[in-house]
């Protein structure tokens, strides 16, 4: 949806086309022109023109019923993103982790003030999860998010701690408590979240290291009524170490912070986890 302080006419054609593409998500995979207009915040006539251009460029497909969906060309371009390289490199280790623990596994990378899920695998002990690849998770109340936040650039830390949204009664909304948790993550290399983001679910996570420091996080999720995650920690740490080693050997780029966290936190190169 468009920002309220930006007139659609003042935005470039590229930004308006991006707004049309951004109208699609996991719950809105096919949209008609009226829906595209409403969700993008653009006039119907503008959306009609931009949609035609995007169809011609194979970024959108117009179906027989007049609705639009994401085109194959956009999918092919997405495969060129560094996160795709990381996912493919990590996938064998994530599969081994699922087999060893039976728990749901998440692999996430930084995405502004959130965490982008780039892989999710379910196991025999899995707890249902809504977060498929492409979903965004908050940084302050998920285990994988806390890993990334512990080593995030200062501006990201400030943005996140300035708006600690409560998701459940267990969500940490006290900035001082959260900073103590982040300090503990940097010290121990392990992050935990118990019902902070979703009731009945606990999670643990550890970092993945690249050439520029912590570039991703791997997490395990489990129901509070299921097998405890403590016994899975050695497998989780081993998987993250293997992915980190492969990433460093490969020389592949991966999303990473561009500056040290506020107050120099996380700049000592120590391992952290969630």
Domain definitions of the chain by residue range: 8-77, 82-264
Q: State the pLDDT at residue 11.
A: 72
What is the predicted pLDDT for the residue at 31? 96
Which tokens go with 105?
A: 């596994």
For the domain 8-77, what is the CATH code?
1.10.10.10
Q: Evaluate whether 8-77 and 82-264 have a shared fold.
A: no
Tell me which residues of the chain have a pLDDT lower than 50.
1-6, 256-274
Entry pTM:
0.74
What pLDDT was estimated at residue 26? 79
Give the model's pLDDT for residue 271. Answer: 35
Encode pLDDT of 122-140 as tens digits: 877 766 666 788 889 999 9
The pLDDT of residue 273: 37
- Topology of 82-264 in CATH? Beta-Lactamase (3.30.450)
Q: In the prediction, which pLDDT does 128 show?
A: 60
């Amino acid at each position: 949806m468009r920002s309220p302080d930006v007139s659609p006419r003042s935005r470039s054609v590229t930004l308006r086309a991006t707004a049309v593409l951004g109208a699609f998500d996991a719950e809105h995979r096919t949209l008609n022109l009226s829906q595209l207009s409403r969700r993008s915040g653009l006039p119907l006539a503008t959306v009609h023109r931009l949609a035609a251009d995007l169809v011609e460029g194979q970024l959108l497909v117009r179906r027989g019923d007049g609705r639009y969906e994401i085109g194959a060309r956009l999918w092919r371009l997405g495969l060129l993103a560094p996160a795709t390289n990381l996912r493919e490199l990590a996938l064998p280790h994530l599969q081994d982790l699922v087999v060893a623990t039976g728990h749901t596994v998440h692999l996430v990378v930084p995405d502004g003030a959130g965490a982008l899920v780039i892989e999710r695998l379910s196991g025999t002990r899995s707890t249902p999860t809504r977060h498929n690849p492409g979903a965004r998770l908050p940084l302050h109340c998920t285990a994988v998010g806390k890993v990334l936040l512990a080593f995030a650039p200062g501006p990201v830390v400030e943005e996140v701690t300035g708006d600690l949204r409560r998701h459940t009664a267990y969500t940490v909304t006290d900035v001082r408590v959260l900073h103590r948790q982040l300090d503990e993550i940097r010290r121990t290399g392990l992050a935990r979240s118990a019902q902070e983001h979703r009731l009945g679910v606990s999670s643990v996570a550890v970092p993945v290291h690249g050439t520029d420091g912590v570039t991703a996080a791997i997490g395990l999720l489990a129901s509070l009524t299921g097998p405890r995650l403590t016994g899975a920690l050695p497998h989780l740490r081993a998987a993250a170490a293997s992915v980190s080693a492969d990433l460093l050997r490969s020389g592949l780029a991966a999303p990473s912070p561009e500056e040290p966290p506020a107050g120099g936190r996380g700049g000592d190169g120590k391992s952290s986890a969630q």
